Structure 1
Amino acid sequence: MRLGSWGSAPIPICLIDYPPSKPVQPTLTNQAQPRAGLSRASLLVATCSTIIEWYDFTLCLYFATVLSRVFFGPGATSLLTALGGFAVSYLMRPLGALVFGHIGDRYGRRRMMLLSMAVMTGAMLVTALLPTHAQIGAWAGWLLLLLRCLMAFSVGGEYTGVVAYLLEGARPGRRGLVTSLAAAASEVGALLAVGVCALLVYGLPTASVDTWGWRLPFLLGAVLAGGVWLARSTMQESPDFERQQEAGTVPTSPLRHTLRYHRPAILRTFAISALGSITYYVGITYVPTFLSTTGQRGEGEALGLSTMAAVVVILVTPFVGLLSDRLGRKPVLAVLAGASALLPITLFSLMRGGSTLQAILGAVVLAAVAGGVSAVGAAATAEQFPGEGRLSGLALGATAATAVFGGLTPFLAELLIARTGWPLVPGAMIALVALLVLPVLLTMPETAFSKRTT
């Protein structure tokens, strides 16, 4: 099937590179009146379907200790090898974001989201059927890495596509709240992943988990992803993309358009996403591995603490999104950056050497800070760009930062702990990034109170 004929909305015959002379800024008021927002059904499908995509993607991180044994064999270096492979796969996220971003900017957000979910469905199903290290040796690890790269390629376009879709379908004054739901839904997916992993670890003997139990979460993910693809086929197209089609302003080369007119916006989104990525991937998804290897806690207890942290993120996210609608993106991000600079070293210390109650406190506070950054960052990054080329801009800024400060940092944290012998390295990494991005957050333009997304 040709890409140009996929879906119900026609593709314009003539696409021009827009604008011909000067860039469109997100806060300009000389645009046509915005269309009516998306239906609640379309917003709900876009939000909830992110649950499954993120369940599929975070499953490997939460299951890292198990998958390291299954696919890389026994030995002290298996976990580090697995985390290193997962880190390499994150380099596919910017590539996926650019490819899917081009599709979304030129052919529509809806088509892009259908394609990304189809790729994820296939990758999950094949992963569930992989042979193990005991069956084919080192080839098992390479195959897992290949499929992990395919998942990262899919997710590269998934999250930015959903954020843009929700932003463009929300009414003014509620964009922070509505787009924060994408972050909340992604954490629901992560909660589902960690819950399923904890259930398996607690409910099955280790030998059964390593032999066949590890396949069950991936099979579940493939089935759920297939169902989401069907639900997404009922979604409306973004009203902003329909505006571009009618006005003839769909850029023929979204990437070139964005690089030409919105370089400062790319740098700002990189900074915002760098903070969101390291607080999330080191402060949340790396925590089970940290607790198991450094905190001397069992896999089941570590996953249980991560489940509590995920619940906190889900509760905090909509509140922070709404707060950013009331107070603005800048002040909320600045406060969260300050907390990220001051608290993480102490919190990792509590998780490592404290009582169970102190470990819970450390994990919960870290999760609340990370969830807050993700919540306000969703709208703040998307609002840096006009509708034309928005997904490509997010790919260049937000997704590139995630590849560096998300995928690489769990591996780097584990490596630095092993090399330096200092178990609080993860907290220091978060604090350093927060200090570096704080000046950018304090000087960026406020976008919360613009009445338009274009």
Structure 2
Amino acid sequence: MADTVPHVTRPMSRGSMAIAAFSTVVEWYDFTLYLYLATVLSRVFFGGGEGSLLVTLGGFAVAYLMRPIGALVFGHIGDRLGRRRALLLSVALMTAAMLATAILPTYAQIGPAAGLLLLLIRCVMGFSVGGEYTGVVAYLLEGAPTHRRGLIASSASAASEIGALLAVGVSALTVHLLSPVDLDGWGWRIPFLVGAALAGSVWIARSTMQESPDFERQKAEGTVPTRPILHTLTHHRVGIARAFAISALGSITYYVGITYVPAFLTSVGAFGETEALWLATIAAVVVIAVTPLAGMLSDRIGRKPVLIGLAVCAAVLPMTMFALMGEGSTARALLGAVVLAGVAGGVSAVGAVATAEQFPGEGRLTGLALGATAATAVFGGFTPWVAELLVARTGWDVAPGALIALVALAVVPIFWLSPETAPRRSSPG
């Protein structure tokens, strides 16, 4: 497992690093917007009848199946032709998918075909997002100073959460300002049009980025893998398994502990759509604050102890937090949302660098696709749907927290037995 980025002779420009880090704002805005508007979309595209929210969340889960496929395709491009090219192609496809969503006909206009078209476009979105986050994390890791990898790689997580914050903020503002008739008639399109414009601007910015110095090193040394998937499966199976475990915890804490929360609060009748979205906005701010702190801590004491500590928190806290949020009290709901957001933000921050460090530069994007993105497809895409199904069928409000706790308990032994991946600190600071 490589502490694996060799000495960089041509440092990455600060401009390229900044563009890479902050472009994930758009990626996560575009992808999480669907979940934050789930209750609205269930009416607009699926008729709003009984079970429509469950169908909408199911569409989110199905789209997630495309993430590992997209990650493999874009990972192959990134490992064979360069990180920059893969990142340009993925955001171009994302722009097209967001614009297509914004102009879709609704259930009232074409009936059930509207929902089918929405799900097809979500699959395209899932495919494009598959190549985004892992590509950015690899790019940042490969350009960062060795002793600052945790902090710099965590900036992708922080920027992603800024995107989610923007998504929930735009959603909450749209829902608040428009009447229900206008919201369902045309207002829901506004957040998606904003996303399409943002994605297009990111493509323009990324066109100015330089190539990863590690990929340039591979070209100079002639070590670029000709078959990245075969190369990674042959040499890095253990790294794939560890990346899967790290991403499993990060995905379920994020997608059940943060992005599912507005739908949960609305579904159990604790809050209306507007109040639930504002609570989610506050939780997103907490994640942004926690992320760089967790990244810096992992640079100072190592990835392993931070991951173990966060996994223990994820095993102990979520059931209590969901119980508090289900009681209908604003103060208790806020406490539950903030605690869950803090845990999720910490795991995402450390998980970004820890998963990338499981692989050398050769085949790194493919390794992340096979490990981290595959776990996200299972523990990110399907778990909000499973959580909603359990709450609806059993009436047990703490079921989402139990899901998080089960995954956390399963991965603690893996973290405990894994070696440290952070480089040794040769001097303070």
Among 240, 243, 248, the alignment partner of 1:266 is 240
Corresponding residue of 1:205: 179
1:182-209 deviation line (CA, Å, top 9, x unaligned): 0000000000000000001111101100
Corresponding residue of 2:3: 27
1:298-337 deviation line (CA, Å, top 9, x unaligned): 0000000000000000011001000000000000000000
Q: Distance in 2 between matches of 1:97 and 1:359?
A: 36
Could you list the runs of 5+ residues in structure 1 that have no partner in the other structure?
1-24
Corresponding residue of 1:388: 362
1:130 and 1:140 in contact (8 A); partners too: yes
Q: Distance in 1 between matches of 2:362 and 2:347?
A: 25
Amino acid at match of 1:387: G
1:351 and 1:360 in contact (8 A); partners too: yes
Among 309, 321, 332, the alignment partner of 1:347 is 321
Amino acid at match of 1:26: A
Among 18, 37, 41, the alignment partner of 2:11 is 37
Amino acid at match of 2:238: P
Q: Distance in 2 between matches of 1:185 and 1:260?
A: 34
Corresponding residue of 2:99: 125
1:295 and 1:353 in contact (8 A); partners too: no
Q: Distance in 2 between matches of 1:34 and 1:134?
A: 57
Taking every aligned residue pair, what percent have the same amino acid on both sides? 70
Q: Between Structure 1 and Structure 2, how many residues are aligned?
A: 426
Corresponding residue of 1:87: 61
Deviation at 1:355, TM superposition (A): 2.0
Corresponding residue of 1:331: 305
Establish whether residue 48 from structure 1 lines up as the match of residue 18 from structure 2: no
1:205-226 deviation line (CA, Å, top 9, x unaligned): 0110000000011111111111
Alignment of 1:88-127 (within 5 A): 88-127=62-101
* Secondary structure of the corresponding residue to residue 372 of structure 2: helix
Q: TM-score w.r.t. structure 2 length? A: 0.98
Among 249, 271, 276, the alignment partner of 1:297 is 271
Q: Distance in 1 between matches of 2:118 and 2:337?
A: 29
Change (3 A) 1:32 1:272: closer
Among 215, 219, 229, the alignment partner of 2:189 is 215
Amino acid at match of 1:89: A
Corresponding residue of 1:378: 352
Establish whether residue 309 from structure 1 lines up as the match of residue 287 from structure 2: no
1:35 and 1:240 in contact (8 A); partners too: no
Corresponding residue of 1:412: 386
Deviating above 3 A after TM superposition, structure 1's stretches of 4 or more consecutive aligned residues are: none
1:258 and 1:392 in contact (8 A); partners too: yes
Amino acid at match of 2:67: R
Amino acid at match of 2:118: L
Q: Distance in 2 between matches of 1:416 and 1:358?
A: 22
* Secondary structure of the corresponding residue to residue 411 of structure 1: helix
Q: Distance in 2 between matches of 1:213 and 1:182?
A: 30
Q: Distance in 2 between matches of 1:264 and 1:348?
A: 34
Among 67, 70, 73, the alignment partner of 2:47 is 73
Deviation at 1:419, TM superposition (A): 1.8
Q: Distance in 2 between matches of 1:440 and 1:403?
A: 20
Amino acid at match of 2:254: Y
Q: Distance in 2 between matches of 1:56 and 1:439?
A: 35
Alignment of 1:239-278 (within 5 A): 239-278=213-252
2:271 and 2:328 in contact (8 A); partners too: no
1:50 and 1:186 in contact (8 A); partners too: yes
2:3 and 2:422 in contact (8 A); partners too: no
1:51-78 deviation line (CA, Å, top 9, x unaligned): 0111011100000000000000021111
* Secondary structure of the corresponding residue to residue 237 of structure 1: coil
Deviation at 1:27, TM superposition (A): 3.3
Could you list the runs of 5+ residues in structure 2 that have no partner in the other structure?
none
2:250 and 2:348 in contact (8 A); partners too: yes
Q: Distance in 2 between matches of 1:207 and 1:255?
A: 50
1:230-256 deviation line (CA, Å, top 9, x unaligned): 000000100000000000000000000
Establish whether residue 134 from structure 1 lines up as the match of residue 108 from structure 2: yes
Deviation at 1:32, TM superposition (A): 5.9
Q: TM-score w.r.t. structure 1 length? A: 0.92
Corresponding residue of 2:411: 437
Q: Distance in 2 between matches of 1:354 and 1:136?
A: 38
Deviation at 1:105, TM superposition (A): 0.4
Deviation at 1:450, TM superposition (A): 5.1
Deviation at 1:358, TM superposition (A): 1.1
Amino acid at match of 1:258: T
Structure 1 range deviating more: 348-357 or 129-138: 348-357
Q: Distance in 2 between matches of 1:177 and 1:300?
A: 34
Q: Distance in 2 between matches of 1:32 and 1:177?
A: 19
Q: Distance in 2 between matches of 1:33 and 1:363?
A: 42
Deviation at 1:36, TM superposition (A): 3.5
Deviation at 1:127, TM superposition (A): 0.6
Among 189, 193, 209, the alignment partner of 1:235 is 209
Among 189, 194, 203, the alignment partner of 2:163 is 189
Amino acid at match of 1:446: E
Amino acid at match of 2:92: A
* Secondary structure of the corresponding residue to residue 173 of structure 1: helix
Among 152, 156, 160, the alignment partner of 2:126 is 152
2:32 and 2:167 in contact (8 A); partners too: yes
* Secondary structure of the corresponding residue to residue 223 of structure 2: coil
Q: Distance in 1 between matches of 2:129 and 2:415?
A: 26
Q: Distance in 2 between matches of 1:195 and 1:384?
A: 35
1:172 and 1:450 in contact (8 A); partners too: no
Q: Distance in 1 between matches of 2:117 and 2:276?
A: 28
Corresponding residue of 1:21: none
Q: Distance in 2 between matches of 1:265 and 1:324?
A: 19
RMSD (Å) for aligned C-alpha atoms: 1.2
1:266-296 deviation line (CA, Å, top 9, x unaligned): 0000000000000000000000000111152
Q: Distance in 2 between matches of 1:46 and 1:450?
A: 26
Amino acid at match of 2:84: R
* Secondary structure of the corresponding residue to residue 147 of structure 2: coil
